[in-house]
Amino acid sequence: MSTDNFLNQTGKSIKDFYTKYRKVVNIAAISIVAIAGLIAFLSIYWMPQREKAAATKLSKLHHYFETDSFAVVVNGIKGKKMATAPEIADDYSFTKKGKEAALMAGLSYMHLSKWEKAEKYLSKANSKDLILGPSILAAKATCYSEMNKPDKAAAAFEKAGDMGKNDFTVQYYKKAGIHYEKAGELKKALRCYEIIKSEYSKTEVGSDIDKYIYKVKGLLGELNN
């Protein structure tokens, strides 16, 4: 088949296809253009405006948070129009400042011993941040511990340790191990203790880890082998 014949047949096939499915093709094209326009609107105009609005509202709470006025941060002041951290976190959840508000709300609820609300807002914070992430996960783990959920606490502490992998976050492995013991998951507890033994033995946390390993191995019956 010559190149001209091939091009003619291809062009005819495309034309026939379009003629047969014109409505579907047109709807698809319009949808693509609409979606592209929406994405552009959100990224260029809507999100920056939302970010700015959240930042303005959140700035009014920094003083109260820094001075340990945690009840004000989450409840506001009666008679004074001021958005609370939970409200900002809920209304601007997709913005950076909204996630910062969620962290502020979560930590404030922790100080007020309102563990369920604390966990709720810490879950809305940016726990994927490599710097703050381990601390946020550890804070969630503390909430689970206070709510008598040692299995969830252990998993969150271990995840915090895995994310940090440094001499500060090694403490989370130990807390994970302790909570795994409370949850009756001894093999998982041993795993956490052995990570400390193999990778952080020279840290303060690692200085007495042998006794934890020995205890769990005893409970597992491994010392008799």
Give a yes or no: residue 100 inside a domain: no
pLDDT of 218 strictly over 50? yes
Structure tokens at 98: 């909204």
Give a yes or no: residue 185 inside a domain: yes
Is the separation of the CB atoms in 124 and 136 below 8 Å?
no
Give a yes or no: residue 78 inside a domain: no
Structure tokens at 216: 């769990």
Specify the pTM.
Answer: 0.79
**Of 39-48, 103-112, 130-139, 214-223, which gets the smallest average pLDDT?**
39-48
Give a yes or no: residue 167 inside a domain: yes
pLDDT of 22 strictly over 70? no
Give a yes or no: residue 153 inside a domain: yes
Give a yes or no: residue 39 inside a domain: no
Q: What is the pLDDT of residues 82-132, one digit of tens each?
A: 899 999 999 998 899 999 999 999 999 999 999 999 999 999 998 788 889
Structure tokens at 24: 């579907």
Q: What whole-number distance in Å separates Cα of residue 145 and Cα of residue 155?
A: 11
- Cα–chain-centroid distance for residue 141? 12
Q: The domain that contains 137 carries what CATH number?
A: 1.25.40.10
Q: What is the pLDDT of residues 155-195, one digit of tens each?
A: 999 999 999 989 999 999 999 999 999 999 999 999 999 99
pLDDT of 220 strictly over 80? yes
Count of domains observed in the chain:
1
Is the separation of the CB atoms in 209 and 177 below 8 Å?
no
Of 101 and 33, the one with more pLDDT = 101
Place of tokens 């959140």: 58
Give a yes or no: residue 76 inside a domain: no
Structure tokens at 79: 């008679």
Confidence of residue 14 (pLDDT cuts 50, 70, 90): very low
Give a yes or no: residue 123 inside a domain: no
Supply the range of the domain harboring residue 160.
128-225
pLDDT at residue 89, rounded to an integer: 96
- Cα–chain-centroid distance for residue 82? 27
